[in-house]
Structure 1
């Protein structure tokens, strides 16, 4: 699972409270006790509740209940309950809730996508690109995993993915076999993926010795043909569908022969809708 450092948690708080909460200070809420409860307003897949719990505890709240990420919730189900100082509750109220809403929206859309893909091809996987909104990598990746997807690449450091734009500087597709051979000699344990935009490029990629071919923006009515021709040359080639893959066509691409569906569609899901109820606690 994705690890959030203590500094990650601190930055989330500091971003919303750079110099104290002016309203609660002026109202004198410090020292008064209250509770906060977050509940689902719609069906959702809970995500980042663990990080919300850490936010709550960071400001001194006592968390009495929290559901784990990945939990399927119905309207009215509780995500998290905590009690403590009223000023702390108001300090963390929006930050914790917004994080859960954002991440849960992505998790829910990812699960929707995974189900549509696996209904057509149980062995196919859904991979999220690194084209998530800036500064939310960890939340986006955690939500992707919670929803049943996998990272396509978490960044430039973890994969070998050769684009046409790389090949502009190495002699183009005509020189690809030599490029693949050179890369494999330098990095023997990693798989080599090469992108293609036409059947001509695709056949060069398969014959180059690459481990996987990423077919970019290939129309659905031609994708099956391209995949079939690639596998006729190398039955073990991994065929990836990328570009314009979304909830309306992912299942069809999986049925047409894609082993992996690469998309950023899940990252732009509508956030889940949660209700926050804050109640004063009077000592009896």
Structure 2
């Protein structure tokens, strides 16, 4: 569950001085019943977060579809009952959270299923290309994907800009001695660097912006040198829903895509008032 304090920041941004329209138009003591429905088919997410926000403002919530469930157009996800002003205050924030998280979860599940049909052992992961990371990472996991790093504090990932400042050998040596508890991953763009990273004890080698044919050559060379089983291989860069299956055919462990969080479409959900009293 995402911390309530984090979720409330979105609502505070949307209504810094209250909902003036509802306060002007809706009687203070009016109550209402409402439903949140799916306007398309997909994997629903953000239900826990929406429930927490409504309940914080005293609205009773009945969950009809849980996070991770497949829904179809017209399905009721939540039933709400409480103060009408409170329901309208939370409405847009809750829908925005559910829409974004469900969009990510839906697309993640679609890609995970595509990859599994080709190679069941390959994981699909997100990246840090997101500013709403707690929500986005949870949505990826709900969709069956791997979150990758939540932050710069989680694991050591030596990227191209690190290697522009410190040579590969020295960077890996320093990383390995920094902490016995941190996984060391190295981003490389050539066969030679991939082999060298494996030889130096990297836990994960990320093959960045390589074509499937190039990756195949790297894997063959790692196997020839007896290094393949000592590392995990992640591929990233230039991977899309259209070509992901070509990468999944390879002897790799992880496919990571920024696409899951920076290009996925919002899932369409709507709140409808069904009764006022």
Are the aligned partners of 1:32 and 1:86 in contact in 2 as well (CA < 8 Å)? yes
Q: Which structure 2 segments of 5+ residues have no match?
A: none
Within the candidate set 165, 168, 193, 1:201 is matched to 193
Matched length: 274
- Structure 2 CA distance, aligned partners of 1:168 and 1:9? 38
Q: Which residue of 2 aligns with 1:223?
A: 215
Q: What's the Cα RMSD here?
A: 1.6
Deviation, structure 1 residue 275: 2.7
Q: Which residue of 1 aligns with 2:239?
A: 245
Q: Which residue of 2 aligns with 1:274?
A: 269
Are the aligned partners of 2:138 and 2:147 in contact in 1 as well (CA < 8 Å)? no
Q: Which residue of 2 aligns with 1:41?
A: 39
Could you say if the C-alpha distance between residues 239 and 64 of structure 1 is closer, same or farther in structure 2, counting changes exceeding 3 Å? closer
Q: Which residue of 1 aligns with 2:90?
A: 92
Q: Which structure 1 segments of 5+ residues have no match?
A: none
- Structure 2 CA distance, aligned partners of 1:262 and 1:243? 8
- Structure 1 CA distance, aligned partners of 2:72 and 2:62? 20
Within the candidate set 66, 69, 81, 1:68 is matched to 66
Q: Which runs of 4+ in 1 moved over 6 A?
A: none
Deviation, structure 1 residue 226: 1.7
- Structure 1 CA distance, aligned partners of 2:234 and 2:26? 58
Pair 1:187-2:179 in alignment: yes
Q: Which residue of 2 aligns with 1:235?
A: 228
Are the aligned partners of 1:129 and 1:152 in contact in 2 as well (CA < 8 Å)? yes
Deviation, structure 1 residue 151: 1.6
Structure 2 length as normaliser, TM-score? 0.93
Q: Which residue of 2 aligns with 1:158?
A: 154
- Structure 1 CA distance, aligned partners of 2:161 and 2:7? 38
Are the aligned partners of 1:46 and 1:72 in contact in 2 as well (CA < 8 Å)? yes
Deviation, structure 1 residue 218: 0.2
Q: Which residue of 2 aligns with 1:142?
A: 138
Deviations 1:156-192 (A, max 9, x none): 111111123212332x23xx1x543343233223332
Within the candidate set 195, 206, 215, 1:214 is matched to 206
Q: How does 1:159-178 map to 2 (within 5 A)?
A: 159-170=155-166, 172-173=167-168, 176=169, 178=170
